Amino acid sequence: MHKPVSVAVVGLGYWGPNIVRNLQELPEAEVVAVCDMRESALAKTAQRYPSVKQLRSFAQVLEDDSIEAVAIATPVSTHFELASAALAAGKHVFVEKPLAASAEEALSLLGLADESDRVLMPGHTFLYSPPVNAVRDIIQNGDLGEIYFISTSRVNLGLHQSDVSVAWDLGPHDFSILRYWLEETPHYVSTMSRSCVLPGIPDVAFINLEFPSGAIAHAELAWLAPSKLRRTTVVGSQKMVVYDDTSNEPVRIFDTGVDLPDPETFGEYRLSYRTGEIVSPYVKPAEPLYLELQDFCASVREGSVPRSSSLLGYEVVRMIEAVEESINSGGARVAIDQLGAIPRAA
Amino acid sequence: MHKPVSVAVVGLGYWGPNIVRNLQELPEAEVVAVCDMRESALAKTAQRYPSVKQLRSFAQVLEDDSIEAVAIATPVSTHFELASAALAAGKHVFVEKPLAASAEEALSLLGLADESDRVLMPGHTFLYSPPVNAVRDIIQNGDLGEIYFISTSRVNLGLHQSDVSVAWDLGPHDFSILRYWLEETPHYVSTMSRSCVLPGIPDVAFINLEFPSGAIAHAELAWLAPSKLRRTTVVGSQKMVVYDDTSNEPVRIFDTGVDLPDPETFGEYRLSYRTGEIVSPYVKPAEPLYLELQDFCASVREGSVPRSSSLLGYEVVRMIEAVEESINSGGARVAIDQLGAIPRAA
Amino acid sequence: MHKPVSVAVVGLGYWGPNIVRNLQELPEAEVVAVCDMRESALAKTAQRYPSVKQLRSFAQVLEDDSIEAVAIATPVSTHFELASAALAAGKHVFVEKPLAASAEEALSLLGLADESDRVLMPGHTFLYSPPVNAVRDIIQNGDLGEIYFISTSRVNLGLHQSDVSVAWDLGPHDFSILRYWLEETPHYVSTMSRSCVLPGIPDVAFINLEFPSGAIAHAELAWLAPSKLRRTTVVGSQKMVVYDDTSNEPVRIFDTGVDLPDPETFGEYRLSYRTGEIVSPYVKPAEPLYLELQDFCASVREGSVPRSSSLLGYEVVRMIEAVEESINSGGARVAIDQLGAIPRAA
Amino acid sequence: MHKPVSVAVVGLGYWGPNIVRNLQELPEAEVVAVCDMRESALAKTAQRYPSVKQLRSFAQVLEDDSIEAVAIATPVSTHFELASAALAAGKHVFVEKPLAASAEEALSLLGLADESDRVLMPGHTFLYSPPVNAVRDIIQNGDLGEIYFISTSRVNLGLHQSDVSVAWDLGPHDFSILRYWLEETPHYVSTMSRSCVLPGIPDVAFINLEFPSGAIAHAELAWLAPSKLRRTTVVGSQKMVVYDDTSNEPVRIFDTGVDLPDPETFGEYRLSYRTGEIVSPYVKPAEPLYLELQDFCASVREGSVPRSSSLLGYEVVRMIEAVEESINSGGARVAIDQLGAIPRAA
């Protein structure tokens, strides 16, 4: 077994403490320091983990040679500055999703990681969720046939962000899952949205995504909803799947479809509809964040590309940017270039 | 009480027999004839209603002076020809939705009805559905506050049409309901769709609708789905409503919302989320088609404008046309003119 | 193919017209007459089926030699008199469940059928329900392992009977299903009940049934409930099944159980719980009453024993009688003799 | 504000650490010591709460004068010995449910508490659950009218106990809730059960409870079930309530019932069924264990009788004993005496 990766966790807001807890439980990692400007946040951690260093400035993190890697859980607007400084200081970097506040920033980070030969990994936690992987397996092994379309709803009441739209807040979840399932980036997106509560902050968005393969996807994202909904339907030519993260049966496979025999004489089509059994496979529960941080440690020690790769993180940021561009231009259909030469570090 | 309206039902396919049955039960109407080209269809009706005339040609309907009104339940492509001939022959006309195959045709019919001073009524049955009216009442009386957005899913497996898209097939339901609830026609629509099974026949559509008031609506329509879904969410500034036609509790009112106090110093917003009780009002069941045909008879005898008015039918056709235009132009945002002078007959 | 069985339907209340309709659609049968004392009931049928004889007295049915069989859908209290007279007149008899108002009456009918060599068949319609048969198949093929217990709820609001308890009204459904699934009659029953609304008419009953195999079953029956419930859970040593007649997925199979390894030293037990996939098999819909009447015709023409046999009908009446005896003795545990020599006609 | 109650938590198995955590968060209490025979259990607590004394023997707890109260979370068989010793040593006692392993033991404890003038409180946590209290309020304010019957299911897969029946394990939950809601103890109970997996350990029980007021209740308890169920229906003469602890809407009130007008001439009854709106009141979440321990502290400092009183705990044990007696006598109906003189300490 490798020596544990020594990590500093930067940012102890909502998510940071979860990272600390999971790293503590992980044999492959060791939390050597936490960093936050707020005394109160540090004090809380100190009480739980008295042996962990409490650092008030990020410079201290950078200077500390005992720290091999940083896990950044600060607001999105700071990701670029912190991550690039950490890479420049020779640290491996795990950064919460989205990877950066713009595609330009994200691309810079990929370049820096490449130059410094360090790991750069965005925290797209859903890629480590057991139901998401169960659905990916079903798609990959061809059970669904051709993917016709995907429709997803991710809505609940709150929490409005004061600086970014619902697309920046909730979009990374669905965009990363779609990229992971379909292994392609949409070439067109368009979005209808509205800023219902706060002026200039879209809190509901209906997002269309068109993929090169012909698959289309629709994502409804909202901070305003009568009840929490996490429901994704994948319709294939052979079978269909419903993935619902709030259900006791998160994955349901429907042996349902439509068969198209050869057109008969006179060009008439006769379709036959097939309704078969419905199966809820058993999906063994596991904490995605634990698996994600394990993957980070493996990529640090073994040089492997993490499932939540920097390339995927970059693509997600490009998708969000295109969505924002569509919103800002009244719902226009916005093209996304397909990447040609892919940065090596991805 | 008025003398019953004498009606001929034209077209005995899937829906026509339901019209016959409801007219038979209605004291305000009398079915004097049925008309279909197919002997087998006529024979079936003859067995049940031996006293009703069996007519093989529409000309016989037009010539028969004992017939005051016709109810047309034939394919959409024939609506214009049959309805215009019936109006020209001095008959009142009830025609299944959509009113006609194009806005141009629909407008002609409105003109003909106006000239001949006859009733022209499209059969938007959902306008007579008790849950739809319960929701309308809640919207109209202001309980929901400002309508922020509406999201609706109308999906199931089948039945593919061989000549029209899913928008022409399922769209009239949602478009008529939205028009009825919001009392306005969208000024922009855009649609992402795909022809998954039959080439050139879109069988899934994600439709955006933007209304002059600021309200936006999204409709997901599909003939491909793992299970039947009929779910509409109306999000208002005060409360929210879920309308589900497949549920034992078709209307649920959520006392849920977000309150925005005056911005505090330094421009910071502090939102408070409100989660209150959920009420499923008792909605007395009734057969919408019965109520619809009753409204038709009243408009014939009393000159009233039916709830499912020809104007509403015209607007629905304009919405479908705009959706089709968006589909045909790759998802572009298509404008719909707001009607100025409204044809009198509406 | 055999000549159709000529049937007279006796009793045109709630259920009788359904029997008439299904017999009419059945190639194996012909409705030659209907019989009811009420003119209004006859008139309604006459309108629909003008060629069917309208008889006002049961004596006319008995005397009519063109009638081979009678289907009796009158109140339970009249079953014995009508069925025994019909058997005596040489008619085959289909009689709505329960077979008779007492075990003594039921046994007499079995004897009469035996003597006259005529078919006597009670209408336990659930034995022809596709989901009930799907569950029976799963039980019979051993998939569930040993049946540990069955728990069932059959509750809704209304309809109170003015002369019999909820056990006589709803009990036949569950008792016939349990007899059909388990192929045994309980040897003990006990019941806690209450007459909530009408004095002396129990409208809620909690019924315990103990079977010779060791299986136990519990049935909750009520005319008072906030919502309709039709839910039966079958727990076996290998798998478990939920049967819900109100659901789109009426049968769900849970690969769930508990495994008991050999006791370890010191007599400690270590159980391991197994949670596997859940399967909703596709159950093809069919009208149970149609299949039931088809079975009746087959038994008339071919001498086969119908699935809903007179013996099963007799056993169901014995179960209800024992339940009533328990109710009348304050909830005592009442024994039911296991039948030795079974009447031949069963 | 009072000085915090200094508490020692005895038993650090499954539940003990929850008690420690809640007491730590409670301003009214202070955990001064934990006690367990197992080093590993103590070590785990020591890591989290380094300032709390780690005691290996209960004798040390008794001798420690800085400990005012003990919270006992050990196996039921030890409750009596530990609680009586603690009371004898002048400590206040909180003891996990059930209060003791027999009614005799429980009564002794009540006597000891009375003599020593110390608080004795069993931990019937559900009495502090917000939905349970919402239902109690509805019952107490008369909204439901007369309580006709209550039907409850508490089933899931596992966890079999090796020494006690499912009635001892799950019964205290429902019995304490019923006692709290109805404010009476049943005078008769009967139970059908089966030991499906382990010989002599009933793992499914159907329990009947008859109350002096006329109300009846049925509880289905099982460690064998395809899915977790926590569903209680309360049927009253005016309204009905469903309480489901696993639902987002844990309390639902149905304005549903049956109205019985005066009997008409000829003794005929005409019932009318009422189906009205369904309301899910908002129930503010709170941790019941926190509220429960707060109540314990209040009773220690202020001398108040806790909601989960020793008398209620005693009654619950009497109910379980009667259920066990019924099980052991093959399902007989077992009487429970109504308490006359109630021990003062309750």
Radius of gyration of chain D (CA): 22
| Averaged confidence pLDDT in chain A | 94
A122-170 tens-digit pLDDT: 999 999 999 999 999 999 999 999 999 999 999 999 888 878 899 999 9
In the predicted model, is pLDDT for residue B159 greater than 90? Answer: no
Closest CA of chain C from D49, distance in Å: 33
Instruction: Name A310's Cβ contacts closer than 8 Å, sequence gap at least 6.
Output: A99, A106, A109, A110, A113, A120, A121, A122, A343, A345, A346
CB contact under 8 A, D157 and C332: no
Please choose, from the candidates D298, D310, D295, the residue with its C-alpha nearest in 3D space to the C-alpha of residue D84. Answer: D310
| Residues linked to residue C280 through DSSP beta bridges, in sequence order | A278
Short-list D101, D79, D81, D73, CA closest to D324: D101
ipTM of the complex: 0.94
Distance between CA atoms of residues B217 and C143, nearest Å: 49
Nearest neighbour of A276 by CB, restricted to C276, C277, C282: C282
Q: Please report which confidence band the pLDDT of residue A340 belongs to, taking 50, 70 and 90 as the band edges.
A: low
Please list every residue in chain C whose beta carbon sits closer than 8 Å to the beta carbon of residue A276. 282
Q: How confident is the model at residue B266 (pLDDT cuts 50, 70, 90)?
A: very low
B32: Cβ–Cβ under 8 A, 6 or more apart, which residues? Answer: B6, B7, B8, B52, B53, B64, B66, B67
Q: B249 to chain C: which residues are within 8 Å by CB?
A: none
Q: Which residue is closest to B255 within chain D, CA to CA?
A: D282
Residues of chain D in contact with residue A44, where contact means CB-CB under 8 angstroms, are none
- The DSSP code for B271 is -
Rounded to an integer, the average pLDDT of C189-211 is: 97
Percent of chain B with pLDDT over 70: 95
- Pick from A335-344, B121-130, D297-306: least confident: A335-344
Q: Is the pLDDT of residue A117 over 50?
A: yes
Count how many pairs of residues, chain A against chain D, have C-beta atoms within 8 Å: 4
Q: Which residue in B48, B227, B248 is closest to C227 by CB distance?
A: B248
Residue for token pair 């989320």:
B273
Least CB–CB distance from B227: residue in C48, C227, C248: C248
Nearest by CB to A269, which of B162, B206, B210? Answer: B162
* pLDDT at position D228 over 50: yes
Specify the DSSP class assigned to residue D295.
Answer: H
Q: Which amino acid is at C187?
A: H
Query: Which of D135, D151, D278 best probes binding to C when mutated, by most C CB atoms within 10 angstroms?
Result: D151
What confidence tens digit (pLDDT) does each residue in D242-273 have?
Answer: 999 999 999 999 999 998 766 554 455 578 89
CB C99 within 8 A of CB C106: yes
> Could you report the per-residue pLDDT of C25-74, keeping only the tens digit for each?
999 999 999 999 999 999 988 888 888 999 999 999 999 999 999 999 99
pLDDT band, very low/low/confident/very high, at A259 (cuts 50, 70, 90): confident
- Averaged pLDDT of chain B: 94
As a whole number, mean pLDDT of residues A263-281 equals 77
Tokens (6 digits) for C293: 């009447």
Task: Give the closest of A48, A227, A248 to D248, CB-based.
Answer: A227
Q: Hey, are the CB atoms on D256 and C149 less than 8 Å from each other?
A: no
Tokens of A128: 């480590």
Tell me whether D162 touches chain A (CB under 8 Å).
Answer: no
Across the range A29-42, mean pLDDT stands at 95
What digits encode the pLDDT tens for the residues C215-225? 999 999 999 99
Q: β-pairing, D204-210 with D216-222?
A: antiparallel
Which of D235, D237, D243, D255 is best to mutate for the C interface (most C CBs within 10 A)? D235
Q: Search chain D and give the residue with CA nearest B278.
A: D280
Q: What is the pLDDT of residues B176-215, one digit of tens each?
A: 999 999 999 999 999 999 999 999 999 999 999 999 999 9
Whether the CA torsion C224, C226, C227, C230 is positive or negative: it is negative
Which of C248, C256, C279, C284 has the highest number of chain A CBs within 10 A, making it the mutation to test binding with A? C279
Give SS3 for A184. coil
| In contact, C63 and C37? CB cutoff 8 Å | no
The residues with which C209 forms a beta bridge, in sequence order, are C189, C217
Backbone angles phi, psi at C219, to 5 degrees: -125, 125
DSSP bridge pairs for D52: none
Q: Does C143 touch chain A (CB under 8 A)?
A: no
Number of H helices, E strands in chain C: 9, 15
Segment 218-277 of chain A within 8 Å of chain D by CB: 227, 248
B neighbour chains, 3+ CB pairs within 8 Å: A, C, D
Q: Which tens digits make up the pLDDT trace of B24-58? A: 999 999 999 999 999 999 998 888 888 899 999 99
DSSP helix/strand/coil, B7: strand
Chain C CB contacts of D260 under 8 Å are: 197-198
- C227 CB neighbours in chain B (<8 A) are 248
The closest CB to that of C282, out of A277, A281, A282, belongs to: A277
Structural tokens at position B298: 């009243």
Mean pLDDT of A177-189: 97
Instruction: For residue range A305-324, list pLDDT tens digits in order.
Output: 999 999 999 999 999 999 99
In percent, how much of chain C has pLDDT > 90? Answer: 88
Q: Once rounded to an integer, what is the mean pLDDT over residues A237-259?
A: 96
Interface with chain D: mutation pick from C233, C242, C254, C334, highest number of D CBs within 10 Å: C233
pLDDT attached to residue C161: 85
Q: Which of residues 293-332 of B touch A (CB under 8 A)?
A: 330-332
Flag if B278 and D280 touch (Cβ within 8 Å).
yes
Quote the pLDDT of residue B344: 44
Average pLDDT taken over every residue of chain C = 94
Q: How far apart are CA B69 and CA B301, in angstroms?
A: 11
Model confidence band, residue A262 (pLDDT cutoffs 50, 70, 90): low
> SS3 of B46, please?
helix
Condensed to tens digits (0 to 9), the pLDDT of residues C319-340 reads 999 999 999 999 999 999 988 6
Residue A277 with chain C: CB contacts under 8 Å: 279-282
- The answer for residues whose C-beta is within 8 angstroms of residue A44's C-beta and 6 or more apart is A12, A17
Within a 10 A sphere around the Cβ of D267, how many other Cβ atoms? 7
Closest CA to A213 of A305, A145, A166, A159: A145
> Residue B199 corresponds to which tokens in the numbers above?
């080439």
- Which B residues, 67 through 106, put their C-beta within 8 Å of a C-beta on chain A? none
CB contact under 8 Å between B216 and A194, yes or no, is yes
What's the average model confidence in pLDDT over C201-222? 98
Q: How confident is the model at residue A46 (pLDDT cuts 50, 70, 90)?
A: confident
- Which pLDDT does position B340 carry in this prediction? 64
Option in A275, A276, A281 nearest C277 (CB): A281
The alpha-carbon radius of gyration of chain B (Å, integer) is 22
Which two tokens mark A195? Answer: 């800023």
> A-chain residues within 8 Å CB-CB of C277?
279-282
Residues of B in contact with D275 (CB under 8 A): 282
Tell me which residue of D247, D96, D233, D104 sits closest to D173, measured CA to CA.
D96
D188, β-bridge pairs: D210, D335
Scanning every residue of chain C, which has its alpha carbon at the shortest distance from the alpha carbon of D215?
A: C194
Q: Could you read off the pLDDT of C275-304 as tens digits, one per residue? A: 999 999 999 999 999 999 999 999 999 999
